[in-house]
Copies of this chain bind each other. A is one copy, B any other.
Amino acid sequence: MSAATFRRELDSVPAGGGEPGLVVAGEEAGAGATDAALDRFLAAGARHGRSLEHRQLWSALGEASEGGKRLRPALFHSVYLALGGRDADVAAEVGAALELLHTALVIHDDVIDGDTVRRGQPNVVGSFADAALAGGHDAERATHYGQTAAILTGDLALAGAVRTLALCGAEPATVARMLDLLDRALHLSAAGELTDVRLSLEGDGEEREVIAMEHQKTAVYSFELPLQLAATLADAEAPVTEDLTRFAQLLGVVYQVRDDLDGMFGDEAVTGKSSASDLREGKMTALMAHARTTDAWPRIRPLLGAGTADDDDVALVRALLEECGARDHVEALADDLSRQAMASVAHLPQAPLLHEWVRTVGERVGAR
């Protein structure tokens, strides 16, 4: 699972999900404030350079941070408000920091995955590489130029995320706690990303290891961090913070296995993702981890990571994953985890909002 798929997937979710009102309120409040804070961030950074290259990198960062549904800020904002948080100015900055962190990780993930396209458009690597190609340079040098630009743009976004959180305007002790939470999320994401590359290299991985990797790489910064920041900034009592963290962990795993299912069985027109891409990259997903334990594996394994999977291969792998029970197993896992997530916060006053988030994240793409 790419760190980017969450953003892409949730772009396809109708605002508000099944029960309009709750999430929409959080999203709308968060989205406008986040956009305004990001605009301030981009304007402030533009001061620092007048060179062609600075303008190019900075506008690449602006474009990369645009267009998403700001799901992480929305998650943070909605829970912060539900917990009684009322400092809109600080919350806007925290939301912007979350979006910048996401932007940085997506850009560097694209470099690592060798991707040049995102949602049908050239990403940072692709747009700089295209410019070099147009300048008459060969493909290898153009790709290197694109990857250089993307490493640098991601660096600016990452430093911007930490800086924005550091300067969000909360009390110094609160800022220090929030910086620790961000630090933890970044560390786990980095370790998860390296594990992902190792598992793809080895073409191996047990279900538990794959889910732990996906959790570290994407779910911690996308779910745990927004809810932990909301609880910290709203000064929630320790037991509430613990419940929210546990809930976020479950919600994160729901998202992951849902993403694995959508990546293989979802409608490309809805998910925006080619079903063949996980297969070509050799991504070790929850589906594959289950299939490894079945008789179907010798027929699936050669198609995984070969880089050559065509539509027939995808159809064959889909059929094999259904036949061997991997799809049912992972569907049941997603449903079970969704129920666990709902139950874990049923006693909290914020349960309606949190349950809405489980539905938004956990719904099957086909059902949307």
How distant is A268 from chain B, measured CB to nearest CB, in Å? 27
Q: Which residues of B contact A104 (CB under 8 A)?
A: 155
Q: How many angstroms between the C-alpha atoms of A227 and B158 in the bound complex?
A: 24
* Nearest chain B CB to A256 CB, angstrom units: 17
Q: Are B179 and A166 in contact (CB under 8 A)?
A: yes
Cβ contact within 8 Å between A137 and B183: no
A302 contacts B by Cβ under 8 Å: no
Q: With A112-B151, A194-B152 given, is the CB distance from A183 to B167 under 8 Å?
A: no
A54 touches B187 (CB 8 A): yes
Chain B residues near A306 (CB, 8 Å)? none
Q: Report yes or no: B197 in contact with A54, Cβ–Cβ below 8 A.
A: no
User: Considering the complex of A and B, which 10 residue pairs feature the smallest CB-CB distances, nearest first?
Assistant: A166-B166, A54-B191, A48-B187, A162-B162, A152-B190, A53-B191, A53-B194, A53-B195, A148-B197, A48-B184
Chain B CB within 8 A of A82 CB: no
Contact call A45/B159, Cβ cutoff below 8 A: no
Residue of B nearest to A151 (CB): B108
Give the chain B neighbours of A187 by CB distance below 8 A.
45, 48-49, 54, 58, 156
Inter-subunit contact A151/B111 (CB<8 Å): yes
Nearest-neighbour CB distance to chain B for A334, whole angstroms, equals 24
Copies of this chain present:
2
B148 touches A194 (CB 8 A): yes
Interface centre among A145, A166, A188 (most CB of B within 10 A): A166
- Within 8 Å of chain B (Cβ to Cβ): is A40? no
Cβ contacts under 8 Å, A78 to chain B: none
Asked if A149 is an interface residue, CB under 8 A from chain B, the answer is yes
For residue A169, which residue of chain B has the nearest CB?
Answer: B172
Residues of chain A at interface, number, CB under 8 A: 57
Interface of chain A residues 55 through 84 with chain B (CB within 8 A): 56-58
Q: Which residue of B lies closest to A195 (CB)?
A: B53
Interface members, chain A 188-213 (any B CB < 8 Å): 188, 190-195, 197-198, 201, 212
A132 at the interface (CB under 8 A from B): yes
Across the interface, which residues of B come within 8 angstroms of A147, CB to CB? Answer: 112
Contacts of A161 in B (CB 8 A): 159
Instruction: State how many angstroms separate the Cβ of A148 from the closest Cβ of chain B.
Output: 5
Q: Is A51 an interface residue (CB 8 A)?
A: yes
CB–CB B167/A179 < 8 A: yes
Measured CA separation A179–B155 after assembly (Å): 15
CA distance in complex: A186, B191 (Å): 24
Note all chain B residues with C-beta closer than 8 A to A154: 155
From known contacts A155-B186, A187-B156, infer whether A144 and B197 are also in contact, taking CB-CB under 8 Å: yes
Q: Which residue of B lies closest to A161 (CB)?
A: B159
Closest B residue by C-beta to A187: B48
Assembled-state Cα–Cα distance A198/B149 (Å) = 10
- Are the CB atoms of B183 and A45 closer together than 8 Å? yes
For the complex, is A228 an interface residue (Cβ under 8 Å from B)?
no
Tell me if A163 counts as interface (CB < 8 A to partner B): yes
Contacts of A153 in B (CB 8 A): 190
A216 contacts B by Cβ under 8 Å: yes
